Structure 1
């Protein structure tokens, strides 16, 4: 494990970079960017605040706020009041945002089929399961403790 796990990590980072570049090309064909696509995708799943989106995507709150503000200026998302937190509004996708996301998703689906459509589905499912397990363990291991937050 000591020899193979670092190789897996290196490949995951390389894959992430390659997928970001491909995502920028796909989103660009629909007049968007990878960052905008990611935010639209996340907020299409339900109620999200900018800090929650940032946590989900592993980005800074400020970076996500800039993208959300740009999307709001174009009418692709809107900010709604948050009954749970007065200062952290909810980011909601608009119908125009759903249309934009759908266009990118169609392009992505075509790319997925042409790029990886012939891979063994069971192998991809197992890889997904293993990556989720590693991610869960990393999250668990890196979760803030009460002493990290200045408590105790």
Structure 2
């Protein structure tokens, strides 16, 4: 008997890898990496501190700091004073960062329409529901 859960995990890893590769190609159209794109997306609405971005993305603070510094050097993001914590500035997008993120978002949306065009919306919704339940179970497992 095959373990359907193990097969699902394998499928999720395979999909995650394929989506990461696609994300790198998409980000590359703007001369960026997927990591830079993710940090830009995280700070696109409100400025966040590096630790806040790291928590949101589930990566190390050091990794986000390196990416944030790269984005600042490229002129796509800037650090501003944080009224709540003098030692931890807020990272936000510059105008050119917002434009680049907008172009990436449009490209990603077009790709999603192409990728998911043949999959009924109710199946996508059901898959998301199952994955969210799995993520909640994983959170409980990590906390326990």
Q: TM-score, normalised by structure 1?
A: 0.85
Deviation at 1:95, TM superposition (A): 1.4
**Equivalent residue, structure 2, for 1:38:** 38
Unaligned runs of 5+ in 2: none
Name the residue aligned to 1:48: 48
Distance change (3 Å), C-alpha of 1:45 and 1:142: farther
Measured against aligned partners, the alpha-carbon deviations of 1:111-145 in whole angstroms (never above 9, x if no partner) come to 112222221101101111221222122223323x8
**Residue deviations 1:4-38 (CA, integer Å, cap 9, x gap):** 22222221122111111101111111221111111
Residue in structure 2 matched with residue 113 of structure 1 by the alignment:
113
Distance in 1, Cα, partners of 2:116 & 2:89: 38
- The answer for the alignment partner of 1:150 in structure 2 is none
Segments of structure 1 that go 5 or more residues without pairing to the other structure are 146-152
What is the TM-score normalised by the length of structure 2?
Answer: 0.89
The aligned length equals: 143
Flag the 1:100–1:114 CA change in 2: closer, same or farther, 3 A: same
Paired with 1:5 and 1:47, the residues of 2 have a C-alpha distance of 39
**Deviations 1:76-101, CA, capped at 9 Å, x for gaps:** 11112223323222111121111000
State how far apart, in whole Å, the 2-side matches of 1:39 and 1:104 are.
13
Superposition pairs for residues 10-89 of structure 1, below 5 Å? 10-89=10-89
CA distance in 2, matches of 1:25, 1:117: 20
